[in-house]
């Protein structure tokens, strides 16, 4: 699938099959995130693959809707590691968003569904 086809067809998926994600498809998706451009190539984030059912349930419990998926990929951004322009403009949110966009498009091209979860309780996520 070419990139324009993936962009055109990609949808947010909220119900997932109860089967494991193939390792190669996961690695391809993570590699797409790694290759995403970021300001000054700082990549001020890390990706965490969560596959243990109990951890998925804990994370889901602090979101604004329940999630049942074979795995969750969380991106944790680190503003202190991001590039900041002289006028104070920060880029860490954009950097993380670009990485997750790449990941979502690559996953779609691999036949996997994704959905961004932006509505969550940040402090509760940090504790979990």
Q: Report the C-alpha gap between 120 and 59 in whole angstroms.
A: 9
Asked if residue 46 has pLDDT above 70, the reply is yes
pTM of the model: 0.91
Question: What DSSP assignment string belongs to 2-67?
Answer: -HHHHHHH--B-----SSPPPHHHHHHHHHHHHTS--GGG---EEEEEE--HHHHHHHHHTBSS--
Residue 30's CB is within 10 A of a number of other CB atoms, namely 18
pLDDT on residue 65: 80
Confidence of residue 119 (pLDDT cuts 50, 70, 90): confident
Output the CATH code of domain 3-127. 3.40.109.10
* Distance, CA of 22 to CA of 86 (rounded, Å): 44
What's the pLDDT score for residue 127? 77
* Domain boundaries, given as residue ranges, for the chain: 3-127
């Amino acid at each position: 699938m070419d990139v324009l086809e993936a962009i055109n067809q990609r949808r947010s998926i909220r119900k997932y099959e109860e089967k494991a994600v193939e390792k190669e498809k996961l690695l391809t998706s993570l590699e797409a995130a790694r290759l995403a451009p970021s300001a000054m190539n700082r990549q001020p984030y890390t990706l965490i693959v969560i596959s243990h059912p109990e951890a998925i349930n804990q994370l889901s419990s602090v979101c604004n809707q329940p999630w049942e998926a074979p795995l969750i990929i969380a991106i944790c951004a680190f503003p202190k590691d991001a590039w900041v322009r002289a006028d104070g403009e920060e880029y860490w949110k954009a950097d993380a968003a670009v990485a997750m966009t790449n990941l979502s498009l690559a996953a779609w091209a691999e036949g996997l569904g994704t959905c961004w979860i932006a509505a969550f309780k940040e402090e509760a996520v940090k504790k979990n």
